[in-house]
Amino acid sequence: MESNEPKTVHRGLKKGLYVIPTVFTAANIGMGFLAVLYSIRGFQIIYTNPNGAAGYFNYAAVAIGLAILFDTLDGRVARMTKTATEIGVQFDSLADVLTFGIAPIALIYSWGIAAAFHESSTEYGLGVFLLFMYLMCGAFRLARFNLQATRPRVLLEGTPKIDKKNFVGLPIPPAAGLMAAIVHYSPAPLSSYGAGYARFYGLLMMILIAVLGVLMVSTLRYSSMKTVGTGRRNLYLVLVIAAIGMLMWLYSQYMLLILSVAYVSHGVVWYLFSLFRTSAKTQVEHSGV
């Protein structure tokens, strides 16, 4: 009887650990839900109270940023506690469709596209189309990630080999994070800049949305950051995280934009660097011959 009691406690504790990643995923969904509501509320008062609308848009951007934090934590907690499950992967992806697919679309539409262009204009229709394609690319990216997670082998001939250190294609959370960081940097609706500037900035956002969609369905490699903190130099990592955290607290508008741009662009830079290195190696081999 006494020998069975510790096992019972251990089993109960183990079952409780499975709930922790789910709590973070639920928080992720909650932030996406709030981001959508804040975007709608901001759009309602965009012409009657532009300053109030800017406040709501900023709240929506911050909610998406917090969702990225919760999304990062649920995966790390699941791996640390060894409580990762297949249903957890699916639940997390469904949450990501809302928080990093629909929520940023609602935000960019309310803050930028609908504010900058008239509904009957060609630019407005193109903007709505690009937002839809962003959502489609994000959903496809999540579906591909789920398939690779459950079947981490080469699916078709020519398919890139999957490794744990890198993602194939831009993940949808940093794509949404970049759009949220832009709004957080300048939360005033585009309509407040005047017709000319609003149209110019709106077109730039449309280009960015198209680029993000292409990067998500591409085969470019992006660091997964899953091995960060697993080495021996954890003290230096803690110092770096503390420094970045303080800078984000003091200068969140600048730091979030810099970090999001750096992550989204590093896959492209990495790819160009690998092409340059391969070309240089080929030239050396030919010159040697």
- Residue 187 belongs to domain with CATH number: 1.20.120
- Give the C-alpha distances (Å, rounded to integers) separating 176 from 29, 61, 122, 172, 213: 14, 9, 25, 6, 11
User: CA-to-CA distance for 87 and 151, rounded, in angstroms?
Assistant: 15
108, part of any domain = yes
Contact call for residues 254 and 185 (beta carbons, < 8 A): yes
Number of domains in the chain: 1
Per-residue pLDDT for the chain (289 aa), expressed as one digit of tens each? Answer: 444 544 444 455 555 566 777 888 889 999 999 999 999 999 999 999 999 999 999 999 999 999 999 888 877 776 676 666 667 677 888 889 999 999 999 999 999 999 999 999 999 999 999 999 999 999 999 888 877 766 655 444 445 455 567 788 899 999 999 999 999 999 999 999 988 999 999 999 999 999 999 999 998 988 877 655 555 556 676 777 788 888 888 888 999 999 999 999 988 888 888 887 776 666 656 665 5
Q: Where are the alpha helices (DSSP H) in 151-251?
A: 172-185, 195-217, 234-250
148, part of any domain = yes
Q: In this structure, how many other beta carbons lie within 10 angstroms of the beta carbon of residue 121?
A: 12
249, part of any domain = no
282, part of any domain = no
Give CA 149 to chain center in angstroms: 18
Quote the domain boundaries for residue 92.
Answer: 4-226
256, part of any domain = no
Q: Where are the alpha helices (DSSP H) in 98-194?
A: 103-108, 114-116, 122-150, 172-185
122, part of any domain = yes
pLDDT per residue as tens digits for the range 246-287: 888 888 899 999 999 999 998 888 888 888 777 666 665 666
User: CA-to-CA distance for 5 and 15, rounded, in angstroms?
Assistant: 16
63, part of any domain = yes
53, part of any domain = yes
Give CA 213 to chain center in angstroms: 12
pLDDT per residue as tens digits for the range 80-113: 766 666 676 778 888 899 999 999 999 999 999 9
Region at 154 (left for phi over 0; alpha for psi -120 to 50; beta for the rest): beta
| Model confidence, pTM | 0.83
CA torsion 265-42-249-227 (nearest 10°) is -40
